[in-house]
Homo-oligomer: A and B are copies of this chain.
Amino acid sequence: MILGIDIGGTKTAFGFVDAKGVVVAKDTIATTGHTDIDAYVAAVKAAGGALMKSAGVAAITGIGIGAPNGNFYTGEVAFAPNLPWKGIIPLKSLFEQAFGIQTIVTNDANAAAMGEKKYGAAQGMKDFIFVTLGTGLGSGFVANGEMIYGHNGFAGELGHVIVDRSPAARLCGCGRKGCLERYASATGIVITAGLMLAEDKTDSLLRDKIGVLTAKDIHEAAEQNDELALAIFDYTARILGQALADAVAITEPEAIILFGGLANAGDYILKPAQHYMEENLLAIYKGKVKVIRSTIPDNDAAILGAAALIAN
């Protein structure tokens, strides 16, 4: 039994995962408010211990942690803007001291990619790209059966390749302009919707929701055959597909697996993304790279991903 912990900006989800990849018990505690890291680790330990007891878990063999800016090599979380701790936090050693058990830390997208490899759509794959289309765009590249962590543990930032160098390029939270995640993510598609609603006067179900629009609203409008919503998906998928074609030229994966809020739009994003990727692929890759959806349930993905760090 492995304890998988997903540290998010708002809450920390944790659960016990058995050898078959079943989350046998799970719970959450707040991350927000825990500005003292030692008190936070103690709170996770107390809540984890309580859940262990109530679920009848006898012992755990390791702890996997997925966290924003988590570093596989150092076991630290460094300068994570969405977490309550400043500077560099040695998560791995803090958890190993508190729990007395092996702990592995990595960033949330890499953890989710490992979860996909162990329990999801990437089972048996040695070369794939995992892409999570949420608030931002996170990714994990697996080659030769191994996660590409990079020289300092910071590889896999597909969300920050530049897809627009024109003056109109969108400003990114990273301080640069034109990053993929400002176009292809749950956030990006909402920005696109706002721009297209302003520029295009076509009637649309989305006009009622200007200002409070979500990726889910655009998906629902697309299901009603709303023309503008379909155009918004097409625009988003074109930029994503072009960027995926470039990524394929580097690692030549067997598949690209999409996960997260925007991926929940299913074929509305998958089909045009595959189409535009194909259109932009070098001939030797055409017809050889699948674009598929994650098979891990959204709710369990982070816990399973964290657990996969140990199970793998």
Contacts and interface: CB of A to CB of B under 8 A. Distances in A.
B162 A251 contact: no
Contacts of A161: 246, 249-250
Contact of A280 (B158, B162, B245): B162
A143 interface: yes
A297 to B, nearest CB: 27
Given A155-B250, A288-B151, A160 B126 contact: no
A242 B151 contact: no
B165 A242 contact: yes
A126 B175 CA distance: 30
Interface in A98-145: 126-127, 141, 143-144
B150 A143 contact: yes
Contacts of A127: 150-151, 155
A174 B141 contact: no
B150 A253 contact: yes
A247 interface: yes
A179 B105 CA distance: 38
B251 A141 contact: yes
A260 B181 CA distance: 34
A146 interface: yes
Given A143-B148, A150-B127, A157 B253 contact: no
Given A250-B141, A250-B155, A250-B156, A245 B162 contact: yes
A282 interface: yes
B141 A253 contact: no
A88 interface: no
A212 interface: no
A254 interface: yes
A160 B157 CA distance: 20
Contacts of A168: none
Interface residues of A, number: 41
Contacts of A160: 249, 282
A154 interface: yes
A19 interface: no
Contacts of A141: 250-251
Most buried by B among A175, A252, A254, A283: A252
20 contacts: A127-B150, A127-B155, A143-B143, A143-B148, A143-B150, A144-B149, A148-B148, A151-B252, A151-B288, A153-B252, A155-B251, A157-B249, A157-B250, A157-B252, A161-B249, A161-B250, A162-B242, A162-B280, A174-B282, A176-B282
Sorted from nearest, which 4 A-B pairs have the closest CB atoms?
A150-B252, A155-B252, A151-B254, A161-B246
Interface of A: 126-127, 141, 143-144, 146, 148-158, 160-162, 165, 174-176, 242, 245-247, 249-254, 280, 282-285, 288-289
Given A154-B252, A161-B249, 12 more contacts: A141-B251, A143-B150, A146-B146, A151-B253, A151-B254, A151-B288, A155-B250, A174-B283, A175-B283, A176-B282, A247-B250, A251-B251
